[in-house]
Structure 1
């Protein structure tokens, strides 16, 4: 009896004894060339696993997914796999099991989605008896005609949600809700999507499902495709059976093909490591465009808009185009109204014990992520120094003609004396700055980029009465002493590209907003 089975206290707590050398047997290879995990070695007997099993410090949850095309005819194969490989979870598609049909596999609890003749093909999720699990009812909507099963595995420490998806070639796929949920926590998505796309290295041209998966992966973010796109999952070379997982967990997950379990689809084995995981908090920025005010009404509006778009793609006629424009205007108006209502409801929840962190998290989720601003030059510091030196060289007094330099030398003493005499004379403009003048100067300023001190005009306008009094005193002190702070005379130089001149740069100087207000 092999001792490679460990108990797991949870996703964040792992206790694992050492593993004997017998666990490191040679890795077999399936006919398609995909390497298989060593636990498929036919000569190794294993003890019944706990909720998770593995070797050494590597703890893994084994999932098997397969489009079996008839579960009853494949029951002997499933029984053999259950005894030899002991997967913790089995996802089956196209089971062809009708309502009320009894399907049993020793050591597993079966959760069936029955077949409806002419409507659906049936799915099943088989969970090991010792793993506590509950069904997700209702599962997320993934499109008309798409079969979805959801199951929550109650592992110690943190649950794992698993979705089993089957899409026929005629069904419309919508994965926005499902991928948004997967981006926020430990969620595994597997099944037969019947998708073709260049992302999957499909031998056939891209179809609507493949394009939708590619776009949704890019829009949502945080979800990774586990498949090895060089390994087909169908006998005709297609990559129809896909697996998705939260991106931070995907790097250490092992995806492979089963060595002998197949119908017209190859069975897929996924070893999901369970290292100590951080607590999954809601993302600070929304993962979905309408996420912060999403509700059943928004879901229905999105469905209507997508239906109008599909209709226009099928029939490029003027009535379909007018219908699409009308539906789009109606959806935008309704979403604007729902957004305002959700914002008002949230503002009413603000109380004295509401934390600033939570408030800013919600505000950022409403406003959306800031657009990324890449540097205008690969080495902007060196370029700014070069431009500053070039400006200093061009504006140096040494570039003046000799006659001008001679006149400057003759007048320098008289100019210094005149300036000294003017400083000792009183002038009507020597009056101190008033608070009204300061407020008027700040109101006329747009909120531009700050200088070296990092203070913008919006910050200066909201410092309050005490801050405004201190600022006014600082400006009047500088005015009466005739002295400017060195920080006010320092500029931050940014090189920016010249319009209509590729490769040429021009400098802009960012001065202190306080100094510009004093001027």
Structure 2
């Protein structure tokens, strides 16, 4: 990629004396349609420069499809897991067991649960929403629940008064926010920006923030920076020597503590596993896309896999290393 100077062949001076020391550098990919001009606004003894790049904002990727739990065929889901468990030979590595169980649940879900595209929800009051509006909306919800629980004339009158008050607060917040926006308009405000403000005030969906063009590389870069900054190599020399001297003693103390018998060193019973299953609303999906309802409907195969991990009595090596380092 090359860099192009936009104003190298221009006669427009950027200085009050006609000089052109203020150069504008743009990459060669953007320089073809770039527009450079001198702004009439004077900043000290230099004029401001305006560079327009006709580049469309990146389109954010759509969220990945998810499983529609409400239309799940749990009998087929359990049958798929039972078929997998019948031919499965659990390895000794607990991490591999976890990956295998997750893959089996995802395969069973793909077979028994239809997919649906996630919807994009937006609040029409996002552009003027503040703490006062939130507080009055909360009061409206409280009085609605009270009237639903005890429907009498007094509670109805209270609900009507609270709703009327909340509407007044929302209208005042709209007016204040709109006046604040109008105060920012000037002769330099584009017509497109004004129309975007009008569409926002009319309740249109808010502009979606652009996603990072390379999320995986950016996450790895941030993780590398965090790891390097949190490394023990950043500590003073005497602190690192003290850590090395205490490391063997700490490792031995942890190993001895792991060998000490305790009353809790027994496998979980099937009844305890059943009681631990959540009966309320479903949890949010993680990176693997598996909500808690799939674990609750895993059936005998899921219970057998959990019991096998429990009877194995092992501890993941990565977690053991972290525990030893932070002791």
TM over 0.5: no
Structure 1 or 2: more helix by fraction? 2
Structure 1 or 2: more strand by fraction? 1
Scaled by the length of structure 1, the TM-score of the pair is 0.21
Higher relative contact order (CA 8 A, sep 6+): 2
> Considering only CA atoms, is the larger Rg found in Structure 1 or Structure 2?
1
Scaled by the length of structure 2, the TM-score of the pair is 0.31
